[in-house]
Amino acid sequence: MRQLFLVLFLGYATLAAAAPLRIGVEFADRPISFVDPAGKPAGFTAELIAEMRRAGLGDVEIVTGP
């Protein structure tokens, strides 16, 4: 089980190093995702993406939807 986890983790780490993880978000669904008065992404989705960055999952990029 440990070997499987290690192989999957290393495979993801290699993929993460190659290109940023792009997550598409539509910021019109308060409180899940919205734009705050300062023009920055806010809500649950923005917090989740920030945690992914802090966890070291590589470069995570938010792509806005329609």
Q: Which residues contact 41 (CB under 8 A, 6 or more apart)?
A: 25, 27, 33, 34, 35, 49, 62
**Res 16: pLDDT:** 52
Peptide bond into 37 cis (omega under 30): no
**Res 25: pLDDT:** 86
**Res 5: pLDDT:** 66
Residue 44 near residue 58, CB atoms below 8 Å: no
Give residue-wise pLDDT tens across range 17-63. 567 888 888 888 888 899 899 988 899 988 988 888 888 877 888 88
SS3 46: helix
Provide the number of structural domains found in the chain. Answer: 1
Residue 1 pLDDT class (50, 70, 90 cuts): low
CATH number, domain of 40, equals 3.40.190.10
**Res 58: pLDDT:** 75
Q: Which domain holds residue 10?
A: 2-64
Judging by beta carbons within 10 Å of its beta carbon (0-12, 13-18, 19+), is residue 24 exposed, middle or buried?
Answer: exposed
Prediction pTM value = 0.60
